[in-house]
Amino acid sequence: MWIQWIVMIGVLIIVCLGIAAIYGRYRWQLETDQLRTKLKGGRQTMQPKIFNPKELEGLPAPVQRFFQTVLKEGQPIVAAVKLSQQGQFNMSETESKWSPFTATQLVMTQQLGFDWDARIQMAPGVNAFVHDTYLLGEGSLHASLLGLFTVANMHGEPENNQGELLRFFAETTWYPTALLPSQGVRWEAIDDNSARATLTDGATTVSLVFQFNAEGTISTMRAEARYRDKLTAMPWSGRFWEYSIRDGMLIPLEGEVGWEYPEGIRLYFKGKITEIHYEFVS
């Protein structure tokens, strides 16, 4: 008799966990839909509508080579991006504890913003749900176990805003028309293979140093200081490769990002784009 009770209790626990997981996914999807509706609601009129090489006049030589490599004359300006990713995320700050993840991301360039909606596998059948977001000038990070139990929730502080705008800026390699001067980016020469780019959105200004390879594409990016939290800012850098043509633009499909320590870089993200779609200014 007691064996039957144990079996019944076990089945009940499994059913309850299944219901909780379904409800968690439902709640999380509601949050995702709300965030992305707000992102889309911030659309603004953009000019120009296509890339004109005359815009490159006066830019540092490696920056000119970059745009000449990744864009063709008449390339429509990107207004929005939808992409899917897969890869690994390091869940430890002191050692290598890599967990697989999948994610979708919506990016808007008309009113700068993005939402990264990820599932990071913590254990078989147990996922952490993560929103990493820059919306209407504010950065936020919300992480939840199973979509039900919040484990991190940071938003609205100047440090969050700076960190998330830096992420948006670094990922412009996937939507390179956003790096054009007409889109608000200021370029400064450093040497024959690198240049500093600066972007301002509202009260937040960020800068990145982009390194260009022999093929003319971006190989690395680096920020002198990105906030990890309210008190800690560290050098932050990433590397890009596996360039491929998508909708007329040459973009990297794989990359990795990490924090720079005195002893070297400690990676926390390794990922690749599995699908990407663009909307262009009309």
Judge contact between 126 and 133, C-beta under 8 A. Answer: no
Average pLDDT, the chain: 90
pLDDT per residue as tens digits for the range 56-95: 999 999 999 999 999 999 999 999 999 999 999 998 888 8
Average confidence (pLDDT) over 224-252? 94
pLDDT at 9: 55
pLDDT at 94: 82
pLDDT at 258: 97
Count of domains in the chain?
Answer: 1
Half-sphere exposure of 6 (CA within 13 A, CB side): 3
Of residues 164 and 9, the one with the higher pLDDT is 164
Judge contact between 62 and 193, C-beta under 8 A. Answer: yes
pLDDT at 281: 93
What does the alpha-carbon distance between residue 63 and residue 188 come to, in Å, rounded to a whole number? 9
Question: What range does the domain containing 101 cover?
Answer: 2-280
pTM of the full structure = 0.91
- Residue 261 maps to which CATH number? 2.50.20.10
Among the ranges given (46-50, 182-186, 187-191, 232-236), the one the predictor scored with the smallest mean pLDDT:
46-50
pLDDT per residue as tens digits for the range 133-149: 999 999 999 988 877 67
What does the alpha-carbon distance between residue 197 and residue 77 come to, in Å, rounded to a whole number? 19
